[in-house]
A and B are shown apart, each in its own frame.
Chain A
Amino acid sequence: MGKDKKYFLDEKPEKLTYGGVFRRINDWARARSLWVVAYGTGCGSIELRPTFTSRFDAERLGMRMVATPRQADVLIISGYLTVKTLKRVIRVYEQMQSPKYVVALGACPINGGMYYDSYNAINRLDLYLPVDVWITGCMPRPEAILAGFKRLQELIDSGRADGWKKYIDNLDRYRENQKKIIKNWKMPNYNW
């Protein structure tokens, strides 16, 4: 089981704390350069493509897709999350570097949406991951997604987007919820 430690957080990481003007400047800069990890977890990713390409062009707001979680600031949960994906999403989230933000798209992460009765899709995302901004819609249009990002930028700018801090503080609680539905914490040999 020692191997598991490499996959997921097993203890609370240290929180970087710094304050004053530095934090203010950091927040200001961060809000204007959000890199989104390119992981389409659900059907909402179909609207992320127009958002990040020429028609809606999120890049003019400082946002772009990056391939690896280690460079990313934002994780988009695009719609429903199956149990199998949730495990990977937690892993992706824990690989991301703080400060990091989660945006939930669509009705499904809020209360199950279309798949409230599905045996393989979770109903409430906030039990497992700290979400900063919720955008409802099925799917949210690119305009709504951009409005959500604008809200996220405001939150970051004013220092209120602290979901990642919550995750560190309440890691036990989140882990407990996660363990309720994910029994096997070893990654299967086909992806780690």
Chain B
Amino acid sequence: MGLKEVLKPLGAWRQIARKPHTILVPRTPREAAERYRGFHVNDLEKCIGCGTCAAVCPNEAIDMVPVEGIEPRKGDSGFRPRIDYGRCCWCGLCVDSCPTTSLRMTNEYIWVRETPDDFVYIPGYDIKGFEEKEKGYRKEKDHSFTHYQRVPMRELPPEERVESFAEVVLGYAEEEARREADRCVGCGLCIAGCPDRMHIPDYIRAIASGEYARSVNIMYENNPFAELCGKVCTRRCESYCSLGHEGDPVAIRWLKRFATERFSDLKEVIKVRKAEAKDRSVGIIGAGPGGLTAAYYLALRGYKVTVYEAMPEPGGMTMAGIPKYRFPFPSLKKQVDFILSQGVELKLNYYVDPEKFRELMDRHDAIYIGVGLMKPWTLGVPGEDHPNVIYAIDFLRKVNFNEPVEIGKKVVVIGGGDVAMDAARVSRRLKAEVIVAYRRRKVDMPADHEEIEGAEEEGVEIWEKIIPIRVEDAPEGKVKLVYGKAKMVDQGPGRRPKPVLIEGEEYELVVDRIIVAIGQQADLSFLPEDVAEKIETERGRIKVNHRQMTSYPGIFAGGDVANRVADAISAIADGLRAVKGIELYFQGEVD
């Protein structure tokens, strides 16, 4: 050590000639980096108030609050996240887990106040001046904790499908189901979409953790046809899934199917709590899903229940209308048997006419009408009474009950709903060449898009914008459909375009059978006249109040005959609601 060590550090004076690297804030503001985790902004339009951000926040900094101008609706809770910057730690987990990617962070970082109460705000609603900033932390869809990709469902290949009535959908394997169920973020927006308000997040979580019996028990709390719904539900819940906005919604239907199919004997799985027997009795007309649901829950509540069914098998439209490749008969039998085992009496081949209806009114303290829609709408064109014009529900019923049915080599199905698709696909399985003729465009078809795709895979041709004009006889036992083309006329915003026949053009199509599938209507001829007078109807359907009671006290109705949606889950929901209504009615509360 010597003079050198003493003098060397003085070399630092060299620095005095260098340009300083000081950043002159606040005189010259400095922008933070491209992906800086600064203050939040939220796209209120895109946000659905699912609350995933609040659930993942490590500090409970996020509350979901109602926001002026945003009403709750299906698929949107009406709440919006409010962030407390006295809690936030800017970790960005909320951004990373936002299913709709509406929440993001800007690279703004200066927030100075004199009072501590000024750090709570609703991003997007309270305008802070940095909403327009584009830079900042954003979610990368492909590399985040949210799983947007649905686990694909395995299906039979189309060539094999048309050979038999075997079930098309093969179902999830256990590992697949748990993986799919694990995608659910548990927001519960789907519940509002389900007519029956099933506890969807709960049973999906149970599946994800492998507790299948618990899962099925949760389902049976408000749906005794869980397996039916697992196979053929219209699954409106899935359209409200928060994951569906940026990716595939959780396969709620297939998961329900997976869980219920695991158990062949429901009696061992489902723990029922039966109430004490009561001396009131209820008569249920129609052993469809709605009627049997009402019967099941009434029986659990201790009432005597008798179900009257005109057909030789219970199940209603699910028995007669749904083709077996979608809903096999043993599955239906398993569920119906379980319901009947709760002490429900079932009378088959019991056709209720006005006289018998009066008997039932005397015999029972309340009556539930769940007869469904069994009368097809007709085309309303000349020559429709041709013997080769058949109606889809008759056709499907005959096929399902193994009655002989002859459709020839080429058929045309008129209509675009699920029944039309069923009829078309059943016809394919009967080795016929099938054309589906619909008066609007393919995108307007009310049928489930999966059904349309399935039909097309199986070789069904879909013709759009076809309007039948008349039906004529054709040689060799065939029938000729004369039709015109339609053009779509815009009906203004928010309303779907209307098909209008292009005049002067006529085309002909010669087929073996014309299958009409343009909808069904109610047949209320079984009601005695004086009762029918008192029961209000609306467009052919029975009008009911919020407890499913008709304007005739003591007579309840539900299912397709009373609601406008006409699907199985709505019928089940009606049945469940009617149970509560009937119970309250027995307790003397009419309204």
Identify the A interface with B (CB < 8 A): 54-57, 60, 104, 107-114, 116, 124-126, 131-138, 140-144, 146-148, 150-151, 155
Is B111 a contact of A110 with CB atoms below 8 Å?
no
A143-B30 in contact (CB<8A): yes
> What count of chain B residues pass the 8 Å CB interface test?
29
Complex CA distance for A116 and B88, rounded to whole angstroms? 10
A125 neighbours in B (Cβ, 8 Å)? 116
Within 8 A of A (CB), among B110-156: 110-116, 118-119
Q: Does B333 touch A at the CB level, under 8 Å?
A: no
Q: Is B26 an interface residue (CB 8 A)?
A: yes
Tell me which residues across on chain B come within 8 A of A136, comparing CB atoms.
Answer: 85-86, 88, 111, 113, 119
A113 proximity list for chain B (CB < 8 A): 59, 86-89
Say whether A107 contacts B110, CB under 8 Å: no
Asked if A143 meets B87 with Cβ closer than 8 Å, knowing A110-B116, A148-B112, the reply is no
- Please give the distance in Å from A129's CB to the nearest CB on chain B: 11
B119 touches A147 (CB 8 A): no
B84 at the interface (CB under 8 A from A): yes
**B25 to A134, Cβ gap below 8 A?**
no
In the complex the two chains form, is A135's CB within 8 Å of B111's CB?
A: yes
Q: How far is the CB of B285 from chain A (nearest CB, A)?
A: 58
Which residues of chain B have a CB within 8 Å of any CB of chain A?
Answer: 20-23, 25-26, 29-30, 32, 58-60, 84-90, 109-116, 118-119
Distance to closest chain A CB from B17 (angstroms): 15
Q: What is the bound-complex CA distance between A116 and B84, given in angstroms?
A: 12
Question: B26, A111: Cβ atoms under 8 Å?
Answer: no
Q: Which residues from B are CB-within-8-Å of A55?
A: 21-23
Q: A124-B116, A134-B112, A136-B111 are in contact. Are A110 and B22 (CB under 8 A)?
A: no
A107 touches B22 (CB 8 A): no
Docked-complex contact B22 and A114, CB < 8 angstroms:
no
Within 8 Å by CB of A147, from B20, B22, B26, B87, lies B26
Q: Is the CB of B119 within 8 A of A134?
A: yes
Kindly list chain B residues whose C-beta atoms are within 8 Å of the C-beta of A144: 109-112
Chain A: minimal CB distance from B499 (Å)? 59
- Contact call B88/A138, Cβ cutoff below 8 A: yes
Q: How far is the CA of A49 from the CA of B570 in the complex (A)?
A: 65
Within 8 Å CB of A151, what residues of B? Answer: 112, 114
**Inter-chain residue pair count (beta carbon < 8 A):** 101
> Which single residue of chain A is at the shortest CB-CB distance from B118?
A134
If A55-B22, A114-B58, A136-B119 touch, whether A141 touches B87 (CB-CB below 8 Å) is no
* Residue among B22, B59, B119 making CB contact with A54, cutoff 8 Å: B22
Identify which of A55, A60, A137 gathers the most chain B CB atoms within 10 Å of its CB: A137
Closest chain A CB from B204 CB (angstroms): 29
Q: Which residues of chain A have C-beta atoms less than 8 A from B21's C-beta?
A: 54-55
Q: How far is the CB of B329 from chain A (nearest CB, A)?
A: 56
For the complex, what is the distance from the CA of A143 to the CA of B118, rounded to whole Å? 20
C-alpha gap A109/B32 in the complex (Å) = 24
User: Looking at the complex, which one of B22, B26, B90 makes contact with A143 (CB distance below 8 Å)?
Assistant: B26
Would B114 and A132 count as touching, CB distance under 8 A?
Answer: yes
Q: Which residue of A lies closest to B36 (CB)?
A: A141
Residue contacts A-B, CB under 8 angstroms, 6 given: A56-B25, A108-B86, A111-B119, A112-B86, A112-B87, A144-B110
- B89 and A114 contacting across the interface, CB-CB below 8 Å: yes
Residues in A neighbouring B116, C-beta threshold 8 A: 104, 109-111, 124-126, 131, 134
Minimum C-beta distance from A113 to chain B (A): 6
Choose among B26, B59, B110, B115 the residue that contacts A134 (Cβ–Cβ < 8 A): B115
| For the complex of A and B, 7 pairs with smallest distance between CB atoms | A111-B86, A110-B86, A136-B85, A57-B22, A138-B89, A143-B25, A147-B110
A60 to B58, CA, bound (A): 39
A142 near B25 with CB under 8 A, answer yes
Closest chain B CB from A71 CB (angstroms):
25
Closest to B37 in A: A138
Residue of B21, B23, B87, B90 with highest tally of chain A CB at under 10 A:
B87
- Assess A134 versus B114: contact at CB under 8 Å? Given A141-B109, A142-B25: yes
Question: Are the CB atoms of A138 and B90 closer together than 8 Å?
Answer: yes
The minimal Cβ–Cβ distance linking A159 to chain B, given in whole angstroms, is 14
Assembled-state Cα–Cα distance A109/B87 (Å):
9
The answer for the CA separation of A138 and B30 in the assembled complex, in Å, is 18
Q: Which A residues touch B60, using CB under 8 A?
A: 116
Task: Add 20 more A-B contacts to A111-B87, A136-B119 (CB < 8 A).
Answer: A107-B86, A107-B87, A108-B86, A111-B86, A113-B59, A114-B58, A114-B59, A114-B89, A134-B113, A134-B114, A135-B112, A136-B111, A137-B111, A138-B88, A138-B89, A141-B32, A141-B109, A143-B25, A143-B30, A144-B109
CB-CB under 8 A from B115, the residues of chain A are 134
Chain B residues in 8 Å Cβ range of A104: 116
Which B residues are CB-close (under 8 A) to A107?
A: 85-89, 119
Q: How far is the CB of A107 from chain B (nearest CB, A)?
A: 5
Q: How far is the CB of A79 from chain B (nearest CB, A)?
A: 11
Task: With both chains docked as a complex, state the minimum distance between the C-beta of B153 and any C-beta of chain A, in angstroms.
Answer: 43
Q: Is there an interface contact between A111 and B84, defined as CB atoms closer than 8 Å?
A: yes
Measured between C-beta atoms, what is the minimum distance from B266 to chain A in Å? 44
Bound form: Cα–Cα A146–B119 in Å: 19
Contact B25 A140 (CB under 8 A): no
A113 to B61, CA, bound (A): 8
Distance between A155 CB and nearest chain B CB, rounded to angstroms: 7
| A-chain residues with CB within 8 Å of residue B25 when the two chains form the complex | 56, 142-143, 146-147
Residues of B within 8 A of A134 (CB): 112-116, 118-119
**In the complex, which residue of chain A has the Cβ closest to the Cβ of B120?**
A111
Compute how far the CA of A109 lies from the CA of B411 in the bound complex, rounded to whole angstroms.
76
A166 to chain B, nearest CB (A): 12
Complex interface: chain B residues within 8 A of A142 (CB)? 25
